[in-house]
């Protein structure tokens, strides 16, 4: 039996996961778990083995008696796992059989998260396991009410939201993942900033390198903070465009700050770097929103990434070439 209240371990582990510190290992063993004292008539709820998903569900079920069937999604949440193919018909059928679920309950019904619908074929689950699939509400917080009212839906239970609070929750882990991936850019940008027509490499490296790294940090902050915070108000449907607009605003502030110390070519390079980083990182939020579809995400990325790549190369070349051209 699993608890429906948070322990100190749950609080600490959840905070670390949201910061990205233990994201890849924050999971539970797949299998069948009991909430309260379920009998043979108790509902069976399906979830992923990402511990934040598992915890969100169980903490929403105090006082209830039911079964939790946890699928092996490789530590990925329900929505993403459904898109990646790990929250799937095959895994659901396998887990039902592996747990011997038909021996523990008299009914033949599985309650599957609505956000897992893209990965689960209800008729195939029925055909292969004998269990029917019923899709529950979007949010775990609505499940208790939904069950208490005989699976009756109320307004908003099928609505996918992306509120300010939900957007803010994504920022820390996105920062961790991005900085872990691109840390090598910081020393690289310092080094290329020292290139010039004379032997003053060290002085240029320090004076110009600070500006280039500042532009990179501002671009990261713009893409990972301004984009989610201002998402509903940034023009356009494209996340790459939203990120570019946020980056342009941030970059202009940087230019205002740096205008007395750099020439026009260098200012242009800094602005381009901020815009391209903000545009690229702004696309990170496409998989967390109801704003677009998987095919829409792919369509946007196929068109935006080549432009972003060319702009980033142009920014570096402009930055490196400025001292040579103007010497």
Look at residue 327 and tell me whether its pLDDT is greater than 60: no
pLDDT tens per residue across span 43-82: 999 999 999 999 999 999 999 999 999 999 999 999 889 8
Q: Please, which pLDDT band fits residue 310 given cuts at 50, 70 and 90? A: very high
Look at residue 170 and tell me whether its pLDDT is greater than 70: yes
pLDDT tens per residue across span 240-289: 999 999 999 999 998 887 766 788 898 999 999 999 999 999 998 876 66
Q: Please, which pLDDT band fits residue 225 given cuts at 50, 70 and 90? A: very high
Give the pLDDT of residue 287: 65
Give the pLDDT of residue 248: 96
Q: Please, which pLDDT band fits residue 306 given cuts at 50, 70 and 90? A: very high
Give the pLDDT of residue 294: 66
What sections of the chain are H helices per DSSP? 8-18, 51-58, 78-84, 89-98, 122-129, 143-148, 164-182, 185-193, 201-221, 227-230, 239-258, 264-282, 294-325
Give the pair of three-digit tokens for residue 182. 């691109």
Alpha-carbon distance of 307 to 280, in angstroms, equals 10
Q: Which of 99, 110, 112, 125 is nearest to 31 (CA)?
A: 99
């Amino acid at each position: 039996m699993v608890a429906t209240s948070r322990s100190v371990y749950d609080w600490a582990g959840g905070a670390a996961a949201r910061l990205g510190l233990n994201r890849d290992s924050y999971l539970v063993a797949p299998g069948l778990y009991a909430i309260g004292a379920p009998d043979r008539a108790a509902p069976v709820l399906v979830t992923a083995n990402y511990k934040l998903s598992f915890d969100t569900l169980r903490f929403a079920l105090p006082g209830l008696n039911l079964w939790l069937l946890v699928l092996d999604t490789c530590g990925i949440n329900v929505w993403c796992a459904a898109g990646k193919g790990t929250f799937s018909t095959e895994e659901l059928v396998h887990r039902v059989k592996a747990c011997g679920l038909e021996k523990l309950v008299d009914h033949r019904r599985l309650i599957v998260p609505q956000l897992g619908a893209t990965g689960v074929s209800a008729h195939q689950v029925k055909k292969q396991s004998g269990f029917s699939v019923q899709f529950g509400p979007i949010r775990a917080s609505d499940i208790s009410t939904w069950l208490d009212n005989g699976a009756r839906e109320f307004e908003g239970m099928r609505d996918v939201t992306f509120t300010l609070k939900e957007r803010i929750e994504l920022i820390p882990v996105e920062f961790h993942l991005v900085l872990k991936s691109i840390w090598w850019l910081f020393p690289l940008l310092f080094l290329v900033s020292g290139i010039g027509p004379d032997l003053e490499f060290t002085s240029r490296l320090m004076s110009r390198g600070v500006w280039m790294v500042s532009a990179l940090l501002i671009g990261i902050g713009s893409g990972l903070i301004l984009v989610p915070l201002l998402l509903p108000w940034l023009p356009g449907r494209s996340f790459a465009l939203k990120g570019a607009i946020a980056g342009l605003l941030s970059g202009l502030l940087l230019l205002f700050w740096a205008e007395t110390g750099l020439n026009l070519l260098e200012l242009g390079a800094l602005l381009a770097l901020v815009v391209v980083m903000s545009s690229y990182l702004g696309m990170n939020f496409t998989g967390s929103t109801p704003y677009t579809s998987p095919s829409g995400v792919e369509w946007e990325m196929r068109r935006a990434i080549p432009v972003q790549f060319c702009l980033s190369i142009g920014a570096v070349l402009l930055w490196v070439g400025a001292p040579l051209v103007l010497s």
